[in-house]
Amino acid sequence: MRVAGLMNLANSISALRRVASDSCAFRRLGLPPLWYLRVYYEGRWCSRRSRPAPEHIIELNYRGRQMRFPVTAGYVGALNGIFLDDEYCVAEALGSAPKRILDLGANIGMAAAALAAQYPDAEFVFVEPDPRNLERLRKTIAWNDLRGTVFSSAVAAQPGNLLLRIGEDPTCSALETSRMHDLPDSVEVEVRTVNELLQQMRWHDVDLVKIDIEGTEEELLTRNNNWLSRVGSLILEIHPSCSPIRIGRALGDFGLDLRQHGNGREPMFIATRSPNCSYHRE
């Protein structure tokens, strides 16, 4: 018991140091001193008492662009990856600036805002199935002058309706077909295919596809995937339940080269075309 207690204490001290370090990093982006530290532990306090964490309106400066987001403690992990780990810093990897960006798993739009800081003229399609995120997503779009259309649905290789598993964390909702996240509750959501989304937008092609769909990315990219011939590049998180090797092979069939991206805490990958391998553009 004493050893276990000492290990728990050591883990708590380690977590405190990590969160304090991240709080200092966020201070450099313009957030108030110790804001991240306070909200992180506020979230833990609320979780232990089964209470909803309060919403905070935050403003930060990322790549010279002032941004505003409505967040609770449930979003601080995503905030960390996007703005401290630079998960979506893709300007060096992409040849030309994307004009059309398809955001699959948009959450509340923080990744889109990070991409818009690099490509301010881009038009977005935001696809988000979790109803808890949609109001905040629309606020992010309005507050940060993002251009685009919101689809309140999931995306998969087949259209229809599926259960979306949801839990306390609003960034980890997963379709019932995913092997990620054993969550206590669920809600039925509409599911669209990428072909349907492109057809509805009247987009023949898309320059960049961003994917963070909690464990169903392999199915999306390996089944009914002819739409990949119309994609310029992809930036995606590949979750532990999916195989980068199988995804890489599927993308390779369409001339897309998959490789690891960045050195952040999440397994991010990027897929681009060689200069002599173009995609089907209008």
Report the amino acid identity of residue 81.
G
pLDDT of residue 17: 82
Q: The tokens of 200 are what? A: 């509805």
The verdict on 45 and 131 lying in the same domain is no
- Altogether, the residues listed in the chain come to a count of 282
User: First-to-last CA distance in the chain?
Assistant: 67
The verdict on 146 and 254 lying in the same domain is yes
Do the beta carbons of residue 171 and residue 202 sit within 8 Å? no
Dihedral sign from CA coordinates of 95, 97, 103, 109: positive
The verdict on 135 and 271 lying in the same domain is yes
75 Cβ neighbours under 8 A, 6+ residues apart: 69, 107, 108, 110, 170, 171
Which domain, by its residues, includes 28?
1-84
The verdict on 80 and 90 lying in the same domain is no
Do the beta carbons of residue 181 and residue 165 sit within 8 Å? yes
Task: Please identify, among 33, 56, 84, the residue that sits at the C-terminal boundary of a domain.
Answer: 84
Distances (CA, A) of 96 to 51, 157, 279: 46, 28, 13
Structural domain count of the chain: 2
The verdict on 72 and 197 lying in the same domain is no
Token pair 């739009």: residue: 109
The verdict on 75 and 139 lying in the same domain is no
The verdict on 136 and 238 lying in the same domain is yes
The verdict on 119 and 232 lying in the same domain is yes
The verdict on 111 and 216 lying in the same domain is yes
Summarised one tens digit per residue, pLDDT across range 156-167 is 999 999 999 999
* pLDDT tens, the chain, 282 aa long: 554 554 455 566 676 788 888 888 999 999 998 898 899 899 999 999 999 999 999 999 999 999 999 999 999 999 999 999 999 999 999 988 999 999 999 999 999 999 999 999 999 999 999 999 999 999 999 999 999 999 999 999 999 999 999 999 999 999 999 998 788 899 999 999 999 999 999 999 999 999 999 999 999 999 999 999 999 999 999 999 999 999 999 999 999 999 999 888 888 999 999 766 666 665
Count Cβ neighbours within 10 Å for each residue of 247-271 and write b for 16 or more, e otherwise.
Answer: bbebbeebbbebeebbebebebbbb
Q: The tokens of 131 are what? A: 């109803």
Do the beta carbons of residue 159 and residue 196 sit within 8 Å? yes
The verdict on 111 and 174 lying in the same domain is yes
Sheet holding 185-192, edge to edge: 154-155, 185-192, 160-166, 174-175
Spatial separation of the C-alpha atoms in residues 199 and 242, rounded to whole Å: 28
Task: Please identify, among 61, 84, 107, the residue that sits at the C-terminal boundary of a domain.
Answer: 84
The verdict on 77 and 93 lying in the same domain is no
Helices (H), 107-236: 110-118, 131-143, 194-201, 217-222
Task: Please identify, among 84, 118, 136, the residue that sits at the C-terminal boundary of a domain.
Answer: 84
CATH of the domain at 182: 3.40.50.150
Summarised one tens digit per residue, pLDDT across range 18-63 is 888 888 899 999 999 889 889 989 999 999 999 999 999 999 999 9
The verdict on 74 and 127 lying in the same domain is no
